[in-house]
Amino acid sequence: MHPDVASVLLDEATIAAKVREMAARISADYRAQDLMVVGILKGGTIFCADLLRCITVNCTLDFMAISSYGAASKSTGVHRINLDLEGPLLGRNVLLVEDIVDTGLTLRFLKEYLMQRNPASLRVAVLLDKPSRRQVDVQVDYKGFEIPDEFVVGYGLDFASKYRNLPDICILKSEIYSGK
Ligand code: IMP
């Protein structure tokens, strides 16, 4: 185990089984329809790649990158788009793929932004949910795991740009992100 990690919350095999289950539901729901998957850089990349490989309907893939102003481990609700989608959303079935919903501010921002582009439909797939931290109500259509209020890293999730490569989802030692 990485020395900065306190414990493993979700191991590789548990994550893989959940991703397959989510992809099966998505594939059934979009049966005979085309899907546009929108992954959110960078935290959602590994989840998005694994999910995509298990989805069986025709789909395209695009990415957005956003950053939120403020402290590294907190969401402020003020966002900047660093990379926008290449193509139009008009009339398309869009599935937004995010790593984690915490306060809900990022997801609310993204949903409002994408809805302005008039997709035929917009749904959200999120691997992790920290319900105890929610500040705004935002609907998630496909959810992987509900997790406790702990700062997690690995499987794409970072702290200060590190730990994304860990294959498990791990609870980071609090002294790492509190700086004590
Ligand atoms: P929200 O706007 O508070 O819902 O936060 C969503 C974003 O905060 C995610 O896309 C992550 O980038 C980041 N985030 C929230 N909690 C964690 C965590 O436990 N580990 C890593 N990143 C997190």
State pLDDT tens for residues 12-30: 999 999 999 999 999 999 9
Residue in 100, 163, 165 to alter for ligand 1 test, most ligand atoms within 8 A of Cβ: 100
Angle at 26 between CA 134 and CA 49, to 5 degrees: 80
| Beta strands 5-10 and 169-172, pairing class | antiparallel
Q: Which atom of ligand 1 is nearest to the CA of 44?
A: 10
Instruction: Give yes or no for residue 105 CB within 6 A of ligand 1.
Output: yes
For 56, the token pair is 């069986």
Instruction: Write down the pLDDT at residue 74.
Output: 60
Cα–ligand 1 centroid distance for 159 (angstroms) = 10
CA nearest ligand 1 atom 20, residue: 152
CA 164 from centre of chain: 13
Closest-CA residue to 98 (of 174, 40, 23, 162): 40
- In 3D space, the residue among 156, 73, 47, 66 whose CA is nearest the CA of residue 111 turns out to be 66
If you average pLDDT over residues 44-60, what whole number do you get? 97
* Long-range interactions of 146-155: CB distance < 8 A, separation 24+: 147/9, 147/10, 150/9, 151/73, 151/177, 152/9, 152/100, 152/128, 153/5, 154/5, 155/10, 155/15, 155/46, 155/47, 155/127
Report the nearest-CA residue for atom 9 of ligand 1: 100
Q: Is the CB of 50 under 6 A from ligand 1?
A: no
158 Cα: distance to centroid of ligand 1 (angstroms): 9
In the chain, the N- to C-terminal Cα span, in Å, equals 21
* Joined tokens for residue 176: 């790492």
For the entire predicted model, the pTM comes to: 0.94
- What pLDDT sits at residue 1? 87
Token duo for residue 91: 């009339």
Residue-level pLDDT at 6 = 96
pLDDT in tens, 96-143: 999 999 999 999 999 999 999 999 999 999 999 999 989 999 999 999
In sequence order, what DSSP letters do the residues of 36-90 get, joined into one string? EEEEEETTTHHHHHHHHHH--S-EEEEEEEEEE-S-TT---S-EEEEE--SS--T
How remote is the CA of residue 75 from the centroid of ligand 1, in Å?
A: 7
Q: Determine what percent of the chain is predicted with pLDDT higher than 70.
A: 94
Ligand 1 pocket member 104 (CB < 6 A): yes
Could you give the CA distance from residue 10 to residue 16 in angstroms, rounded to a whole number? 10
Looking at ligand 1, which atom is closest to the CA of residue 40? 10
Asked if 177 contacts 151 with a C-beta cutoff of 8 angstroms, the reply is yes
Q: Give the Cβ contact number of residue 83 at 10 Å.
A: 12
Ligand 1 contact via 99 beta carbon (within 6 Å): yes
Under the banding of pLDDT at 50, 70 and 90, the label for residue 180 is: low
Cβ(97) – ligand 1 distance below 6 Å: no
For position 28, what pLDDT does the model report? 98
